[in-house]
Structure 1
Amino acid sequence: MPATSSAAATVVTSPELMRCIFAHQCGVYEDILPLTKLLPLHLSNRSLYFLMIGNYPVFRHHLDHFAQGFTPWLKVNGASSLPRLFTCVDSMPFTVELFAACVGHLDIVDFMIDHDYVDPSIPLMDLAAWAGQLTVMTHLLTRKPRDKTSKHHTLTPTTLDWAACNGQLNVVQYFTKTMWARCTTDAMDGAARCGHLDVVQYLHANRHEGCTTDAMDRAACYGFLDVVQFLHVHRQEGCTHRAMDAAATGGHLEIVQFLNERRDEGASSDAMDGAILNGHLNVVKYLVDHSSVSTSSVDVLHAALALGDQPMTAFLMNRFCLEGDFWSDEDNHHNDVVDYGIITGF
């Protein structure tokens, strides 16, 4: 009897047997359940990808947290258990693909490709380029691709564009010096937009694709004065009025000053409107004193009142009162503005 009981216990406690029994039942395995809680619910599947290209530092924070739970699980269960994981959690294949590409886990990269788990719409090569994983990229180039996975082993202009945009200078250098790869103007445009001056300088010195006016426009928008200055001195593409418009809206006074004093594109009323609505009083004062830019609509001035920005309101009231009867124009219905000034003591 004891022998029989022992044999029965061995059978019913066999993990392999239990997995076979539970394979066709709904639910999540006990060892997999903790993995489902490693990422916030709103970051499942595609949203994690968009976070990667939209805010890479935050993406890496979440990916590192995922790795803390996933790596020990993988060490215990091995890559052969990935299909079980993917069956339980629909969003997990793409999450694991991102993990493998971004941390350089070549075994998982190979497993995902060999078992057709890679996302067909997003090349692994581009993901690795974005993350600066040169080891993964060269590994993919040495693999013999099958027809279904050929795009994951191919360098396209988008590949280098992605690397440049995310500041991966090592990738840009390698595929310029060691193995030439194409890129487009999106490379320098993207690097400038994200403030990667070293990449912008390298592309300027070592490649011929150049950039567009988007480079300086976007660098100004996001406050990268050093990039704006470099492009102004070394490139001929220039910018548009959107550069100063966006810089003013973002409160980047030094860039507004630089563009106003060094370039001729000027700005539109969007510059003043954006600075007012976002409370950048120092920028508004500069534009009033050093440019011909003005606001486009009385609605913008009313909005400053509605936002409760008292310093901005005081400046605008004093300025416009000095320059005309704007605030008391009955046709424009500014009595509420005058009343506000009386009530607040402006």
Structure 2
Amino acid sequence: MPTSVGSSRRSTSAPVALEVWTCPELTALIFQFQQGVPGSFLPLAQSLHMYRQCPPLLMDSFGVWMSCHTLDDLKRFCRLCLHLVSAPVMDQAAAMGHLPALMLLHTLGVDCSSRAMNLAAKEGHLDVVTFLHAHRSEGATTSAMNWAAEYGHFEVVQFLHRHRTEGCTKGAMTRAAKAGHLNIVEFLHFHRNEGGYRDMLHGAVAAGHVHVVDFLTSYRKEEPCSPLAMDDAARLGHLTMVQYLHSHRFEGCTAQALVGAAANGHAKVVQYLLSNKSHYVLKPALALTSSAAAGQLKIVQKLSPFVDAKACRDAVVAAAKHNHFDILEWFHQERPDVVDKVRRKLYIQGDTSNVSTALARVAASIAQDQ
């Protein structure tokens, strides 16, 4: 039976239509003229509408979306929902260092705020900072240079200093010093006059940045410090810093330097302080008790020759309270007289606490081994 002309046309058009609908590029081209928002764009559209009065949440929403979408996706979204794209979106693009997205939003006339340059500087995106400086008028605040200094973005600090007028606060040098960014501390010292806050030197000491402390000591002699700085350095185990402070500064330390170092198990710091004990007011007895309570056996062994029997008894009680049996065993072997006196005193007092229990357990263990 002959095939009709109409039937032939239908049979040839069906495969062609199928090929069109199975081609993602052609399908996208067809539907881009359709009104409405694609399903993949709905979460962002809803978030931008919901959080329009809360910029931080709006920025977070756009950041999450942009991290898993392309620039073409953003172009399409802006074509469909430009009314939802506000200043926080551009601020977030700057914070992410997404210069192509930033340029697109700029071309479309989207607003931004001073947060854009501030956050770009914080993240070290010099190209974004340069673009915003050249093409936008929102500017920045002192937070831009403060953050760039804190996070070690030297080139950004230089650019802001040379091309912007917002400047910085004392927080810039202070944060750079505490973070150990010597090149930025030097730059701010020689090119700006804000200086730092009173805790700048202390913060650099506590963080163990000897190179920064040395620079501040040499070039900024007016910066205040206190004995608490060495206390913190010792507590945190910064031996090189403790040695530097001992040799180059005059503030010294308090008894807490040895106590903190002992409690945290910094044996080399403890040894150094003890070898220079004539220069400081140290309290080995308190340090011994603290190290025993913290379970620092090696420190207990190092400190015990520097204290009397009473201090050793206090250390035994502290170790027993915290069930540090290795320390109790060591005292049993090295200072049995001390342990016996502690046990007799507790017996007379009728003590039934875990101190007596721990001592009895160790004594029984040692007797069994013998």
- Shared fold by TM > 0.5? yes
CA change 1:170–1:25 in 2 (3 A) is closer
What is the aligned partner in structure 2 of residue 337 from structure 1?
358
Letter in 1 for 2:209: H
CA separation in 1, counterparts of 2:35 and 2:164?
34
Confirm whether residue 13 of structure 1 aligns to residue 32 of structure 2. Answer: yes
What secondary structure sits across from 2:196 in the alignment?
A: coil
- Tell me which residue corresponds to 2:79: none
Whether 1:321 and 2:342 are equivalent positions in the alignment is no
Structure 2 residue 333 is matched with structure 1 residue 312: no
Q: TM-score, normalised by structure 1?
A: 0.67
Asked if residue 204 in structure 1 is aligned to residue 232 in structure 2, the reply is no
On the 8 A contact 2:252/2:280 being kept in 1, the answer is no
Question: 1:9 deviation in Å?
Answer: 5.7
Confirm whether residue 107 of structure 1 aligns to residue 128 of structure 2.
yes
State the Cα distance separating 1:283 from its structure 2 match.
0.7
Please report how far the alpha carbon of residue 94 of structure 1 lies from its aligned counterpart in structure 2 after TM superposition: 8.6
Task: Answer with 224-233 or 276-285: which moved more.
Answer: 276-285
Shift in CA distance, 97/299, structure 1 to aligned 2, threshold 3 Å: farther
CA distance in 2, matches of 1:95, 1:327: 68
Q: CA deviation at 1:236?
A: 1.0
**1:67-116 C-alpha deviation (Å, 9 max, x unpaired):** xxx66xx366345459xxxxxxxxxx999966642434341587599697
CA distance 1:23–1:247, shift in 2 (3 Å): closer
The AA in structure 1 aligned to 2:126 is: H
Match in the other structure for 2:299: 283
The one-letter amino acid of 2:230's match is: M
Identity %: 20
Which residue of structure 2 aligns with residue 302 of structure 1? 320
Secondary structure class of the residue paired with 1:155: coil
Query: In the alignment, which residue of structure 1 is the partner of 2:184?
Result: 171
Q: Give the CA deviation at 1:165.
A: 0.8
Contact 2:117 2:128 in 1 (8 A): no
CA distance in 1, matches of 2:30, 2:62: 19
Q: Which moved more, 1:99-108 or 1:233-242?
A: 99-108
Question: Residue 320 of structure 2 contacts residue 359 of structure 2 at CA under 8 Å; is this kept in 1?
Answer: no
In structure 2, what is the equivalent of residue 133 of structure 1?
153
Partner of 1:275: helix, strand, or coil?
Answer: helix
- 1:77 paired with 2:109, answer no
Distance in 1 (CA, whole Å) between partners of 2:261 and 2:252 is 15
The amino acid that maps onto 1:193 is A
Counterparts of 1:319 and 1:143 in 2: how far apart (Å)? 70
SS in 2 for 1:282: helix
| Alpha-carbon contact 1:217-1:240 (below 8 Å) kept | yes
Report the Cα distance in structure 1 between the residues aligned to 2:137 and 2:318, rounded to whole angstroms: 57
Q: Does 1:161 align with 2:174?
A: yes
The aligned amino acid for 2:325 is: Q
Q: Alignment length, in residue pairs?
A: 289
Whole-angstrom CA distance in 1 between matches of 2:177 and 2:34:
47
Is the 8 Å Cα contact of residues 166 and 194 (structure 1) preserved in structure 2?
yes
RMSD of Structure 2 on Structure 1 (CA): 4.4
